[in-house]
C-alpha cells in the first residue's frame, strides 16, 4: 500500500505542477507586458486559462483575459482588453467592444439567428443574462433577433436584457446607463443615454426610455409606454401610461406628482428654465378652475403664452405631452386637479 502511494504521488504532483506552471507562465506573460517606449506602445498579450473552452474560430483581440471555466463560441468577437471572469460565457454571433468586463456567471449572446453587439467599456455583472431569446410568444423560431448596446454601461448582477422579437426590430441600449441589480429590459425596448434604473426596474416589451431618466426601485412599466427625458419614477410604481419629459410620477397606478425639480437642478437647468417649466405645468395641470377650459385648450394657452413660447424646455415638454396622445400611444399618466 505504501509503495502504491509512493507511485501515485509523483504522478499527481507532476500533473498539478504542470497545469499550475502553465497558468502562471501565461498569467506572468500578460502582467509583464509593458510599453516599449513613449512613442510606440506594446499591446498586452492574451491570456486564456487552460480550463476555458474557446472555439478556434472565435476572434480574440490582443490583451484579452479569459479566466477559468469560461466559454467562448465560434462566432464570438472580443475586442482589445476584454476580461472574462471565471465562469462567464459568450455564445452565438456576439461582438464585444474594447475593454468590456464579464463578471462571474454572466452570459452574453445566444445561439440564435441574428446578433448581439456590445460596445466599449461595458461591465456585465455577476450572473447577468444579456442578448438571449425574448419571452414573447409571437417570436417565431428561426427568426433573426438583435440587441445593440452602446458604450460605458454598467449592467449589474442578475439583470436580463433580451433580443428583439422580430427581424425588423431590435432592442437598443444607449451609452452611460446604470442598470442596477435584477432589472429586466424586454424585447424591442429602446433605452437612450445616461439613465439610472434602480434595482428591480422591469420594462415590458417595446418600452421607450429617453435620456437622463431615473427610476427608483421595484417599478414596472407597461409595454409600449414612453418615459420622457429627465423624468423620475417613484419606488414601487406601476406605470401604465406615458411619463412626459421633466415630470415625476409615483403610485400603485402612477400619477403625475409635479416636476422632477431636483433632477433638473442636478442636470444643470437654470433657475429661469425651471420657473418657466413650473409656470407651464401649473397652467396645464393645476388650473384655478378645472372646468374653465379643456385640457387641449390649456395646452394651446401655454403654446401661445408670450413668456413661455420662446423657452425651449417648455416647448419640449408640451410636445412630449402632445406626442403621447397620438394614435399609437397610450396617453399620459393620470393627474389630479389641485384647487
Selected catalytic residue, list 119, 205, 228, 263: 205
Say how far apart CA 136 and CA 204 lie, in whole Å.
10
- Which helix (H) or strand (E) segment holds residue 323: the answer is helix 312-323
Contacts of 141 (CB under 8 A, 6+ apart): none
Contact between 314 and 322 under an 8 Å Cβ cutoff? The reply is: no
Over 260-317, what HEC string results?
CHHHHHHCCCCHHHHHHHHHHHHHHHCCCCCCCCCHHHHHHHHHHCCCCCCCHHHHHH
Say how far apart CA 234 and CA 253 lie, in whole Å.
11
205 is an active site residue: yes
151 is an active site residue: no
Selected catalytic residue, list 136, 148, 175, 188: 188
Say how far apart CA 190 and CA 182 lie, in whole Å.
18
Nearest to 208 by CA among 123, 328, 53: 328
Contacts of 237 (CB under 8 A, 6+ apart): 216, 219, 220, 249, 250, 251, 252, 254
Selected catalytic residue, list 89, 127, 184, 187: 187
Nearest to 231 by CA among 253, 250, 251, 217: 250
Active site residues: 187-188, 205
Amino acid at each position: 500500500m505504501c509503495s502504491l502511494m509512493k507511485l501515485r504521488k509523483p504522478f499527481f504532483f507532476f500533473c498539478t505542477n504542470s497545469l499550475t506552471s502553465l497558468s502562471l507562465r501565461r498569467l506572468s506573460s500578460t502582467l509583464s507586458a509593458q510599453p516599449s517606449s513613449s512613442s510606440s506602445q506594446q499591446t498586452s498579450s492574451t491570456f486564456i486559462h487552460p480550463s476555458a473552452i474557446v472555439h478556434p474560430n472565435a476572434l480574440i483581440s490582443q490583451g484579452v483575459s479569459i479566466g477559468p471555466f469560461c466559454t467562448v463560441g465560434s462566432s464570438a468577437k472580443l475586442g482589445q482588453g476584454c476580461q472574462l471572469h471565471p465562469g462567464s460565457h459568450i455564445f452565438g454571433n456576439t461582438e464585444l467592444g474594447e475593454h468590456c468586463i464579464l463578471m462571474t456567471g454572466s452570459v452574453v449572446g445566444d445561439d440564435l439567428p441574428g446578433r448581439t453587439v456590445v460596445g466599449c467599456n461595458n461591465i456585465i455583472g455577476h450572473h447577468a443574462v444579456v442578448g438571449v431569446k425574448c419571452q414573447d410568444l409571437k417570436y417565431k423560431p428561426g427568426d433573426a433577433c438583435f440587441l445593440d448596446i452602446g458604450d460605458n454601461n454598467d449592467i449589474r448582477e442578475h439583470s436580463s436584457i433580451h433580443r428583439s422579437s422580430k427581424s425588423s426590430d431590435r432592442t437598443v441600449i444607449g451609452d452611460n446607463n446604470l442598470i442596477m441589480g435584477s432589472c429586466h429590459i424586454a424585447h424591442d425596448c429602446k433605452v437612450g443615454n445616461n439613465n439610472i434604473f434602480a434595482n428591480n426596474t422591469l420594462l415590458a416589451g417595446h418600452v421607450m426610455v429617453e435620456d437622463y431618466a431615473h427610476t427608483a426601485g421595484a417599478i414596472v412599466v407597461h409595454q409600449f409606454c414612453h418615459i420622457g427625458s429627465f423624468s423620475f419614477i417613484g419606488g414601487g410604481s406601476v406605470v401604465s401610461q406615458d411619463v412626459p419629459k421633466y415630470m415625476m410620477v409615483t403610485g400603485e397606478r402612477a400619477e403625475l406628482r409635479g416636476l422632477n425639480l431636483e433632477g433638473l437642478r442636478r442636470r444643470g437647468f437654470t433657475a429661469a428654465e425651471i420657473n418657466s417649466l413650473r409656470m407651464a405645468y401649473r397652467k396645464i395641470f393645476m388650473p384655478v378652475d378645472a372646468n374653465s377650459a379643456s385640457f387641449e385648450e390649456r395646452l394651446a394657452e401655454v403654446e401661445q403664452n408670450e413668456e413661455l413660447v420662446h423657452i425651449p424646455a417648455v416647448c419640449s415638454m408640451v410636445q412630449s405631452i402632445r406626442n403621447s396622445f397620438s394614435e399609437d400611444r397610450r396617453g399620459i399618466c393620470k393627474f389630479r386637479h389641485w384647487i
